[in-house]
């Protein structure tokens, strides 16, 4: 098979940094292969992507050595703009890579730079619109598209230059499950057309279609093998800081030699070796009574909210959240999750209806009174961090609420300890990693000791270990009596950590109840374009709604 | 969610005018405003702009910015009426006198400034940023300069969006931005400027990288996907405005419309 990418002795260190971002990388990728690039944050994955189209070292400077050969062409003398016709790169943030005010103009941007004729541009715009599933939207303003559509537009505008290699650097991270699925379909289509595809991704349940996996760790290529071979060694994956495949992990813990990856195969293997879960034991493992909840602390009564453009974002919401609950609000983008949550601390006010916290109408409370009861962590920690040190950031809220100096110090210290940032009090938040900044954001919401804490997408962009640490911290907070509400797209997190699921679609609540019951309703999940986690689906094969690997193991052993 | 898109997607006669003709017309309208000093001679063009706003269907969008226009009008009125000292005094207050000449000048200045502002707004509201780029390119403006102008328009919503997110985040931590005196409210906003700017800059870098990856600084001569044919009506518009301008200049040379 012809080689698409051949890299030898590649080293790169960003200007001003001592540590190498990439060290001694050697690898070959065949033409038409679908590659999954895995690894924890800061392992060198993005750096690797940027090397492929010469943004490194042309645009982002540093110390570069080694050779990169693409389609038998040593690219060392090439400019970034030439590379666009060989390697197309799509980035994570779909808002900031789109420039134009019309879909077709966005797609033609690169071709205009390359000096293509108008007829050719028209032809290719039509072609890539079809590949990306955007036909009919060519005259729309990209600002009016959904996140998934925007990301497919970014893919389309890169494809317009007909590169042989397509690179997606965490391009699905900010998308909802339906948006991710659609992108994966587009990629499979591209693979059929013979393109080489490289995707950087944290979500192990979404990479089933890839051929090979390159695992990066601390700037080195730690493993490069066929994807199933990598997935079948869950302990190696954990050691490298990437999410193990849940089914493989289950079989590892069961001590079974065979290691299936698909649910169907797993079911067959379990049947064959007669390791079949017994429904009668289910009550024992599920702990049956773990969802005993207190008095309602948040109440929505016929709440509707209408945005300036006349669109009703949430409609006639009736919802009661009890003290000590751990609630996951799920649903596709635009279903009204964030709008709903912002009513709880009155960042938004209802057009109709009443929102109460601890029995009080939020409209009658002072902002400071709300802030003392409800902490809110925003989707992007960079939206809320603005102080020069971690301590100042964390102490901001209690200071604002007029607490005495000594209490401010006490509470801030406690919050910093809860998130595990001791010793970093004087660090500049902007110098921390994304995961650490998330912790700063959580600590700064905790420091006023609110009874309720709301987190919008707390795990987006975090790697496997960052994700576990954040979620374990939330679990502890919940166990200490706080009411925790998260908005998330990650169903495995909902299954593992939440007690109650609230599912939204088109501004309405379609489900509100125990998580276990939620994931056992296939029809409802289908209507919401959501899918239960792999282990739950495996459990359902035996008619048992299991939520995680632990439960399954306890039931089988 | 905020929507700060400037272009108003409609299909009026003004929207359909060729972008090059629109830019030339804007320049002529600006120049025309500078020919006369006497308010009576500026009035017809001022009235014409209101007609333009109405036929371009942008009245609603422009009304949203009424406070900007009003601030401009008041500022120029006050400044001119105070600083022109010649002529008969009309009022005197606390040592500041306002003269007849001053009033005339300020009436002209108000019409001139708000008129130019309206003309600029009509252009922005009826023309896509790509069309403005296309028009500038036709006039021989280098792409990089045209692109910077386009980028400024494109990035406005990015910075405002970043600001709105940060305001939400700080309000939820007890920063009171809605109460207190105007000065106090302004002061409360200051700490938000830095993170808004930083976040905006990060977005700009991302955009730069994404566009560069699509060959932005390619050595090829840039082609254009947009193709807008210039129509006879576009020429009629440009020539009429140019004709009026030349006529006005001649009138001015003959001493008309002077104060």
pLDDT at A452 over 50: yes
ipTM of the complex: 0.82
Percent of chain A at pLDDT > 90 equals: 65
- What integer pLDDT is reported at residue A92 of this predicted model? 85
Please tell me which of the candidates A59, A108, A380 has its beta carbon nearest to residue B212: A59
Closest residue in chain A to residue B217, using alpha carbons only: A81
Contact A96 B171 (CB under 8 A): no
Residue A386 with chain B: CB contacts under 8 Å: 166, 170, 191-192, 194-195
Quick count: other Cβ atoms within 10 Å of Cβ A425? 16
* B218: closest CA of chain A, how far (Å): 5
- What integer pLDDT is reported at residue B8 of this predicted model? 83
Residue B171 with chain A: CB contacts under 8 Å: 347, 367
pLDDT, average across residues A402-431: 89
Residue B166 with chain A: CB contacts under 8 Å: 383-384, 386
* Type and span of the H or E element at A73: strand A73-74
Q: With beta carbons less than 8 A apart as the criterion, state whether A350 and A336 touch.
A: no
Q: With beta carbons less than 8 A apart as the criterion, state whether A21 and A218 touch.
A: no
pLDDT at A161 over 70: yes
Q: What is the pLDDT of residues A513-527, one digit of tens each?
A: 999 999 999 899 999
pLDDT, average across residues A438-453: 91
- What integer pLDDT is reported at residue A369 of this predicted model? 85
Among A residues 93-132, those touching chain B with beta carbons less than 8 Å apart: 93, 95-102, 104-105, 108-118, 121-122, 125
Of the pLDDT bands very low, low, confident and very high (cuts 50, 70, 90), residue A145 is confident
- Mean pLDDT of all residues in chain A? 91
Q: What is the pLDDT of residues A530-545, one digit of tens each?
A: 999 999 999 999 989 9
| Cβ-based neighbours of A146, under 8 Å, separated by 6 or more | A179, A333, A334
Query: What distance in Å separates the CA atoms of residue B223 and residue B213, rounded to the nearest whole number?
Result: 18
Classify residue B186 as exposed, middle or buried by CB count within 10 Å of its CB (0-12, 13-18, 19+).
exposed
Higher-scoring residue by pLDDT: B162, B131: B131
Q: Which of A140-149, B174-183, B196-205 has the highest mean pLDDT?
A: A140-149
Contact B170 A141 (CB under 8 A): no
Instruction: Residue A536: name the closest of A524, A556, A523, A521 by CA.
Output: A521
Percent of chain A at pLDDT > 70 equals: 99
Of the pLDDT bands very low, low, confident and very high (cuts 50, 70, 90), residue B5 is low
Judged by average pLDDT, the poorest of A183-192, A247-256, A313-322, B175-184 is B175-184
pLDDT, average across residues B53-70: 89
Best of A55, A57, A97 to mutate (most B CBs within 10 Å, chain B): A97
pLDDT, average across residues B129-153: 89
Q: What is the pLDDT of residues B227-257, one digit of tens each?
A: 999 999 999 999 999 999 999 999 999 988 8
Query: What distance in Å separates the CA atoms of residue A463 and residue A42, rounded to the nearest whole number?
Result: 10
- What integer pLDDT is reported at residue B1 of this predicted model? 36
- What integer pLDDT is reported at residue A518 of this predicted model? 96
**Chain centroid to CA A430:** 21
Residue A161 with chain B: CB contacts under 8 Å: 214-215
pLDDT at A310 over 90: no
Q: With beta carbons less than 8 A apart as the criterion, state whether A455 and A474 touch.
A: yes
Q: What is the pLDDT of residues A459-481, one digit of tens each?
A: 887 889 888 988 998 999 999 99
pLDDT at B92 over 90: no
Please tell me which of the candidates A125, A309, A367 has its beta carbon nearest to residue B176: A367
Judged by average pLDDT, the poorest of A301-305, A351-355, B81-85 is B81-85
Among A residues 164-193, those touching chain B with beta carbons less than 8 Å apart: none
- What integer pLDDT is reported at residue A287 of this predicted model? 62
Quick count: other Cβ atoms within 10 Å of Cβ B123? 22
Give the DSSP per-residue string, A109-121. HHHHHTT--HHHH
| Cβ-based neighbours of A214, under 8 Å, separated by 6 or more | A27, A35, A36, A37, A38, A221, A223, A224
pLDDT, average across residues B144-164: 82
pLDDT at A53 over 50: yes
pLDDT at B218 over 80: no
- What integer pLDDT is reported at residue A288 of this predicted model? 53
Mind spelling out the 3-state secondary structure of chain B?
Answer: CCCCCCCCCCCCHHHHCCHHHHHHHHHHHHHHHHHCCCHHHHHHHHHHHHHHHHHCCCHHHHHCCHHHHHHHHHHHHHHHHHHCCCCCEEEEECCEEEEHHHHHHHHHHHHHHHHHHHHHHHHHHHCCHHHHHHHHHHCCCCHHHHHHHHHHHHHHHHHHHHHHHHHHHHHCCCCCCCCCCHHHHHHHHHHHHHHHHHHHHHHHHHHHHHHHHCCCCCCCCCCCCCCCCCCHHHHHHHHHHHHHHHHHHHHHHCCCCCC
Give the DSSP per-residue string, A476-531. HHHHTT-EEEEE-S-HHHHHHH-SEEEEEETTEEEEEEEHHHHHT-HHHHHHTT--
- What integer pLDDT is reported at residue B4 of this predicted model? 56
Residue B211 with chain A: CB contacts under 8 Å: 97, 99, 109
Query: What distance in Å separates the CA atoms of residue A53 and residue A45, rounded to the nearest whole number?
Result: 14
pLDDT at A289 over 50: no
């Amino acid at each position: 098979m012809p080689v698409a990418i051949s890299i030898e002795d590649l080293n790169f260190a960003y200007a001003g940094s001592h540590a190498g971002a990439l060290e001694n990388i050697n690898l070959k990728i065949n033409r038409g292969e679908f590659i999954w690039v895995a690894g924890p944050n800061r392992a060198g994955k993005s750096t690797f992507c940027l090397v492929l189209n010469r943004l490194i070292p042309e645009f982002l400077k540093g110390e570069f050595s080694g050779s990169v050969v693409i389609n038998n062409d040593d690219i060392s003398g090439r400019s970034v703009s030439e590379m666009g016709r060989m390697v197309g790169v799509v980035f994570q943030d779909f808002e900031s890579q789109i420039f134009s005010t019309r879909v077709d103009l966005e797609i033609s941007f690169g071709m205009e730079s390359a000096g293509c004729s108008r007829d050719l541009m028209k032809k290719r715009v039509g072609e890539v619109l079809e590949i990306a599933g955007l036909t009919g939207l060519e005259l729309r303003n990209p600002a009016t598209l959904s996140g998934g559509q925007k990301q497919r537009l970014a893919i389309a505008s890169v494809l317009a230059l007909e590169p042989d290699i397509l690179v997606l650097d965490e391009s699905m991270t900010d998308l909802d499950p339906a948006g991710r699925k659609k992108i994966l379909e587009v990629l499979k289509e591209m693979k059929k057309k013979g393109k080489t595809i490289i995707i950087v991704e944290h979500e192990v349940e979404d990479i089933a279609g890839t051929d090979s996996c390159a695992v990066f760790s601390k700037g080195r290529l730690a493993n490069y093998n066929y994807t199933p071979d990598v997935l079948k060694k869950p302990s190696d994956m954990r050691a490298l800081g990437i999410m193990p495949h849940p089914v493989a992990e289950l079989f590892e813990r069961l001590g079974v030699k065979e290691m299936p990856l698909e649910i169907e195969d797993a079911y067959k293997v379990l049947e064959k070796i007669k390791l079949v879960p017994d429904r009668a034991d289910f009550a024992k493992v599920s702990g049956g009574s773990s969802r005993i909840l207190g008095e309602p602390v948040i109440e929505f009564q016929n709440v509707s909210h209408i945005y300036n453009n006349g669109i009703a974002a949430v409609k006639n919401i009736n919802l009661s959240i009890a003290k000590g609950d751990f609630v996951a609000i799920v649903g596709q983008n635009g279903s009204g999750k964030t709008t709903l949550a912002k009513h709880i601390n009155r960042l938004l006010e209802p057009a109709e209806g009443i929102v109460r916290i601890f029995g009080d109408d939020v409209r009658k409370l002072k902002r400071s009174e709300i802030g003392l009861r409800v902490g809110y962590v925003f989707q992007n920690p960079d939206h809320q961090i603005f102080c020069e040190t971690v301590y100042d950031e964390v102490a901001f809220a209690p200071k604002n609420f007029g607490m005495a100096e000594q209490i401010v110090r006490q509470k801030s210290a406690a919050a910093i300890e809860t998130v595990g940032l001791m010793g970093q009090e004087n660090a500049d938040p902007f110098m921390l990693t994304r995961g650490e900044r998330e912790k700063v954001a959580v600590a700064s919401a905790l420091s006023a000791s609110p009874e309720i804490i709301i987190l919008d997408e707390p795990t987006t962009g975090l790697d496997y270990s960052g994700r576990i640490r954040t979620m374990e911290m939330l679990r502890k907070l919940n166990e200490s009596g706080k009411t925790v509400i998260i908005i998330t797209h990650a169903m495995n997190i909902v299954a593992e950590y939440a007690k109650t699921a609230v599912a939204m679609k088109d501004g309405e609540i379609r489900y509100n109840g125990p998580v276990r019951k939620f994931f056992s309703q296939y029809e409802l999940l289908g209507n919401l374009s959501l899918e239960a986690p792999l282990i739950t689906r495996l459990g359902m094969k035996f008619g048992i709604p299991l939520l995680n690997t632990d439960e399954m193991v306890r039931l089988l052993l | 969610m905020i929507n700060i898109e400037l272009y108003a997607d409609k299909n009026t006669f003004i929207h359909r005018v060729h972008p090059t003709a629109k830019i030339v017309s804007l320049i002529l309208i600006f120049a025309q405003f500078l020919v006369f000093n006497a308010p009576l001679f500026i009035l017809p063009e001022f009235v014409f702009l209101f007609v333009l706003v109405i036929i371009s269907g942008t009245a609603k969008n422009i009304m949203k910015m009424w406070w900007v226009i009003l601030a401009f009008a008041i500022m120029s009125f006050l400044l001119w009426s105070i600083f022109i000292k010649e002529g008969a005094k009309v009022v005197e207050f606390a040592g500041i006198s306002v003269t007849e000449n001053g009033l005339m000048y300020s009436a002209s200045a108000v019409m001139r400034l708000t008129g130019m502002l309206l003309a600029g707004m009509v252009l922005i509201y009826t023309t896509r940023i790509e069309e403005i780029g296309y028009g500038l390119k036709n006039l021989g403006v280098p792409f990089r300069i045209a692109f910077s102008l386009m980028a400024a328009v494109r990035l406005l919503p990015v910075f405002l969006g970043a600001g709105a997110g940060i305001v939400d985040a700080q309000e939820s931590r007890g920063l009171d931005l809605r109460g207190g005196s105007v000065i106090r409210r302004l002061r409360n906003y200051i700490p938000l400027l830095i993170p808004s700017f930083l976040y905006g800059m990060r977005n700009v870098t991302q955009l730069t990288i994404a566009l560069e990856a699509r060959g932005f600084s390619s050595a090829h001569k840039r082609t254009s996907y947009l193709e807008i044919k210039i129509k006879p009506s576009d020429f009629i518009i440009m020539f009429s405005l140019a004709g009026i301008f030349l006529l006005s200049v001649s009138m001015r040379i003959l001493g008309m419309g002077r104060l």
